[in-house]
Structure 1
């Protein structure tokens, strides 16, 4: 104190200057946060409070939330009306309830019509059993799930209350299940043995645009995709022939086809529809010679069935089928899982017709047939 006494005034100034120097940095920091925070577009609702703590100044940031960014290319757009609805909500509701509702809508849409994985069903008897699995699948494919007051039978384009004779297949002719008269009717047929003649006659009488796919047909257009998938522009009753077959494997798993392969090209149903510019196939006939099980699985997992209204298909039971392996009871369970997958996509069985023979997986079975022709209708379209 004695040393500082002659300079008391200067010491006082020095002490006050030191205190000011200690207070200036926090003050500048607070000012900077307030100014910069209000200018940043990505920062919303920044609350900073000053409080005394141990003689100093503390800064508390309560909430920093990013502002919703504008949509980018490739992101799903919102349904019409959401922007107007959100304008009436407060900021918290817009980020919370609005976003949750949009997510719920997408999830529901995916569950209804989107791609789905094939769900393998539980064992019929709780454990592997050929007899139990066979009884379950035969019971399923021989019991229609829907009765139709009017039907279209093979070769006939006029609805009737019942077929005049036992029919190989039937189409449900309820008014709400048939194409509207002012819209183009589209029919596809996949067959290599001419067994679709009656089907073609029926859909031709309905005035449908018809496409037949047969890789063995020498009268069809060539194997090049651009030539073989040419639409007939909605000409009713006109049949377009395509030297093509159905594919069920993913593109990367498909075997490379050399130019000039007499087997033509193969595409998934979704690829064929896209190439022909068809969003909907009203009537589809398929005899795929034991390839149906993998094709059905592809349709289920790709979500293609939402755009098929009527399906007539022959299923073969005499052997496992292309790219299907396992013990007999495992194959039967797989077949039943595929049928359940078709039902989960909205298809209901309206007719079943047994074929010849009594061989199931190379075993003679008295109460079953080697093949069945099944007619489904999609009740969700």
Structure 2
């Protein structure tokens, strides 16, 4: 079954003649030794071998001579889909840092990360039709993001703190207010908002009215709360309902070398959601709002593969379809299929769509279309325990 992701091969350059001769020498020496002296157990496995070594016995080490492979070449951003690009960049970095003189010296921390998230990796979805088709891919995507997967009998509308019946039609986001999905009245409630356009005012009003501990993240904010540095995070001991502002934004790249982050200070204006939650001492974010201005696709992928969504109960996010998005490339059909694969990854992480609101404009990947909008604001709830 063909999927929308491209898998890129790898290989090493041909060996020079001198290297080929070197490869033949160790086996020849070992064979000569076996004929003259006979087999000997490895040095590390012999008991009391120290005296024997001091008497002049010769110990041989097995040397693996392997040609250094070239890093995996993934092409330019315009030639490959974003899903495989991310994994390719990470694996290429591992090859460069994990090999010295042609031998594997250590297991890079970034490689350990990929092994840990392997079971959560985004699964490339098959084509919507027998072959790549823009019309088929777009139709499948729009159908998916406009068809709720969970019906809510009670909702919270923007700016409102009292639950009500869902309206017949709404051009705004909604929070599912079913009792089993909302935090208890006397239990801690945490809310995050990532927005640079100021359109999260109603969200901040709603979650503040619910008595949540609210954190607003905006790298353009020149007045972070409590006189904290722009790249610092305040203590999680803030007043319920108050909004703590941070001059910070979301990162979707996994750091090559993850250093221990001290609580309350991340040391960078761009951090992953997992690092932000750890620095603030939060294991759960009950409500998360995100308008990431076309960076959402790569951020979603990071959340899926890092397992960060396990701690998010309600997610409201705007997806932008005007262009492929930051660090996403490929043909139009591949981009649409990649987007659909990310949305299916969100569903596999436990998120169910409860509301969809269309934005302005009708441009998708720079094409003007009458049956699709340039953006959609989607509301999900996490139904996984």
TM-score by length of 2: 0.65
1:114/1:302 contact within 8 Å kept? no
Higher relative contact order (CA 8 A, sep 6+): 2
| Equivalent residue number for residue 361 of structure 2 | 357
Q: Of residues 246, 253, 258 in structure 1, which corresponds to 2:250?
A: 246
- Measure the CA separation in 1 of the matches of 2:251 and 2:188: 26
1:200-221 Cα distance to aligned partner (Å, 9 max, x none)? 0100110000000000011115
| Equivalent residue number for residue 271 of structure 2 | 267
| Equivalent residue number for residue 6 of structure 1 | none
| Equivalent residue number for residue 139 of structure 1 | 143
Instruction: Name stretches of at least 5 consecutive residues in structure 1 with no aligned partner.
Output: 1-112, 255-263
Displacement of 1:126 in angstroms is 2.3
Q: What number of residue pairs does the alignment pair up?
A: 259
1:153/1:163 contact within 8 Å kept? no
1:56-78 Cα distance to aligned partner (Å, 9 max, x none)? xxxxxxxxxxxxxxxxxxxxxxx
- Measure the CA separation in 1 of the matches of 2:119 and 2:174: 28
Q: Highest Rg: 1 or 2?
A: 1
- Measure the CA separation in 2 of the matches of 1:359 and 1:216: 27
- Measure the CA separation in 2 of the matches of 1:141 and 1:165: 16
| Equivalent residue number for residue 219 of structure 1 | 223
Where do 1:157-168 residues align within 5 Å? Answer: 157-163=161-167, 166-168=170-172
| Equivalent residue number for residue 185 of structure 1 | 189
The 3 A distance-change label for structure 1 pair 253 and 370 is farther
1:154 to 2:148 alignment: no
| Equivalent residue number for residue 197 of structure 1 | 201
- Measure the CA separation in 2 of the matches of 1:268 and 1:207: 25
- Measure the CA separation in 1 of the matches of 2:200 and 2:293: 13
- Measure the CA separation in 2 of the matches of 1:188 and 1:115: 27
- Measure the CA separation in 1 of the matches of 2:145 and 2:170: 17
Displacement of 1:252 in angstroms is 2.3
1:314 to 2:287 alignment: no
Secondary structure of the equivalent of 2:160?
coil
Q: Of residues 112, 122, 125 in structure 2, which corresponds to 1:121?
A: 125
- Measure the CA separation in 2 of the matches of 1:241 and 1:164: 35
1:214-243 Cα distance to aligned partner (Å, 9 max, x none)? 000111155554xx2113514211100000
| Equivalent residue number for residue 338 of structure 1 | 342
Q: What RMSD, in angstroms, separates the aligned Cα atoms of the two structures? A: 2.0
1:232/1:240 contact within 8 Å kept? no
